[in-house]
Structure 1
Amino acid sequence: MITQPDHVPERLALLPASAVDTFLTEELLRGERVHGGIDLAKVVEELPEDDARWWVEPIRSLVEDAMFEFREDRTRADAWLAPRLHATLRLTRREAADKRLWNHLALAVAPDYVAWRHLREPTARNPEPRIAAERFRGPADRQCFSRLWWAAELFRNGPDYGPVEIACGNQDLIHTVLRLDLIDHRPTAQALVRLLERGTVTTGREINGLSAAINAAGATLIYDVLAPDEPRNPARLREWIDEAASAPPVGRHELPEGPDEDPVPEESVDALTAYFTELFETAPIRGRKNGD
């Protein structure tokens, strides 16, 4: 397995898409060797030096701990890392939507983690182990680090990251649901987590079928009416971000706390959980027999 680059920057920066392919070498995508890092540092756009959020060391520490702790089961690292990455890298959604930041994190700061987490094992059809390029510079639901940050942002319940652990413990959920616009409706996200908790949906086929049904129903039913949410207070998020410089490192054994925002109204989660359960019972699930 590859190791970290010889030169790891001290601070995060923005790596434009036009410069990415130079560093996505065949050796890197095969998980054999990473670039040195010096040349990459010449093509980035620096972020403000007076912002403590851009220090790399806390993120490097997290990914190294994840690689050690979950060396026997790499997929389990997602549920552990997602809330801790979100609480460490305190971003606005506008900042998190900038792919250049994630390009830099994946290629300059922690390409070894991307390789460790996403190197595919050889198969009869694909005999060479390989990392999909989208894990370094792909869309938000596929890129190694952005998918975890956005999953934590969309599934947290105010400051509570407990639902994030549950959601990220199911690969099918985060692969499928992060593509849905409806997931930005907080009661929808919490109702999906509740269905997972209860064991109502478990398999990838069930999650895909339910997600399709929820998306289709959302075209004719306004979930905001069925399950209203409290308006978000941007000042609380801003305060949380401003506290980044003085915040201690996130705990390794206890979940951190997110922004001090109001949780989702319980009655809205109950209403959508009941509605989604009914949808699931009639949703076409591939492989499910009539009456199951």
Structure 2
Amino acid sequence: MSRKAAELPDALALLPDTTAAKYLTRSVRTGQEEPPRVALLRVSTPVEEHSARWATYPVRELVDEAMRRFGNDARARADAWLAPRLHATIRMTRAEASDTGLWNFLALVVAPDYVVWRHLGKGRGKADGEAAEAAARRFSGRHDTQTFARLWWAAELFRDGDDYRPAEIACGNQDVLNTVLRLDVMDHRPSARAVVRLLERGTVRTGREVNALATAINSAGATLFYDGMAPDEEPELDGLWEWIRDIETAPPAPWESLPDGPKDGRIPESSVATMVRCFEGLFAEAPVRGRPEPGGAADKPVPAQGVSLEKPYANSGW
């Protein structure tokens, strides 16, 4: 057990946003000082349920291994390794994961050093002598920017039932995490899977292409009813809850192979194929810097027969 792990409280807690902001000094964001753990514990609310899924030590083990494994020269690569393992370690529902207090606690109490290590920005130059710092939003921020929330949510949105491989691929692309993850349409599982399928096929490769695809998907989402084009199955909540309960006897997430996610249902392949065709058409028309302009009207994708182009996108997350 590392020194940092030995000093941790046994269980996670909830740290309010306003309190987290109060302690995000420049010294903390540069890593020159650690947040005042005792003071933060005093104002945090313990998680009421006594369960292994809220234990701090397994999370601390993961971040220690990520820093050891990837070092300072490959920090971004830690995202794809850590995301599925973090998700399989802190097993919870989406409603539970939406509480920002949990992520604040992780970032300021359990692993502030990881936040600094992973997101340390560039300094302002040697002339002014100011040290590099991690942005405050990496400690306390939206689900798509906070260090640990964005990884958990990426694993949740891009997994295919118990298969984390698509999430691993998605988290291996920083533009997916920085741009695609924030799109509401990623709550629609066939759409999320289709984006990863385009990465797998090499249809979309560069950061410019990923960003162009994200813009096209988001713009079309105002008119295309994606859930109507590609219906998804309702999640099998019994499988999710069984997976959550199993944490009491489950071994730690493996380091050399992907863990198993909840068996709450795979994404219908026919719906994934529909969204792949749709997104391929949108991407073919999307402006990408350095790529020749797409062709005329004859080249534009035609909506599938019977699909309404007027019904707004409805969030299908649960």
Tell me the TM-score range normalised by the shorter chain: over 0.9
Q: Deviations over 1:38-82 (max 9, x none)?
A: 111111101125222111000000000000001030000000000
Match of 1:212 in 2: 215
Please report the RMSD computed on the Cα atoms of aligned residues, expressed in angstroms: 1.9
> TM-score scaled to structure 1, two decimals?
0.94
What is the correspondence of 1:1-292 to structure 2 with a 5 Å cutoff?
Answer: 4=4, 7-48=7-48, 50-71=50-71, 72-122=73-123, 124=125, 128-290=131-293
CA contact (8 A) 1:14 1:100 kept: yes
Provide the C-alpha distance between the structure 1 equivalents of 2:218 and 2:205, rounded to a whole number of angstroms: 19
Q: Secondary structure at the match of 1:258?
A: coil
**Where in structure 1 are there 5+ consecutive unaligned residues?**
none
Q: Secondary structure at the match of 1:249?
A: coil
Provide the C-alpha distance between the structure 2 equivalents of 1:49 and 1:17, rounded to a whole number of angstroms: 21
Q: CA deviation at 1:128?
A: 3.2
Q: Deviations over 1:2-27 (max 9, x none)?
A: x9599422210000112113321221
Between structure 1 and structure 2, the one with the greater Rg is: 2
Q: Relative to structure 2, which stretch is displaced further, 200-209 or 243-252?
A: 200-209
**Where in structure 2 are there 5+ consecutive unaligned residues?**
296-318
Q: Secondary structure at the match of 2:92?
A: coil
Q: Secondary structure at the match of 2:244?
A: helix
> TM-score scaled to structure 2, two decimals?
0.87
Q: What is the one-letter code of the residue matched to 1:255?
A: L
Q: Deviations over 1:74-104 (max 9, x none)?
A: 0000000000000000011111000000000
Provide the C-alpha distance between the structure 2 equivalents of 1:5 and 1:122, rounded to a whole number of angstroms: 30
Q: Relative to structure 2, which stretch is displaced further, 70-79 or 205-214?
A: 205-214
Q: Deviations over 1:149-173 (max 9, x none)?
A: 0000000000000001100000101
Count of residues in Structure 1 that have an aligned counterpart in Structure 2: 290
CA contact (8 A) 1:114 1:144 kept: yes
Q: What is the one-letter code of the residue matched to 1:12?
A: L
CA contact (8 A) 1:81 1:148 kept: yes
Provide the C-alpha distance between the structure 1 equivalents of 2:153 and 2:131, rounded to a whole number of angstroms: 31
Q: Deviations over 1:86-134 (max 9, x none)?
A: 0000011111000000000100000011011011133559963111000
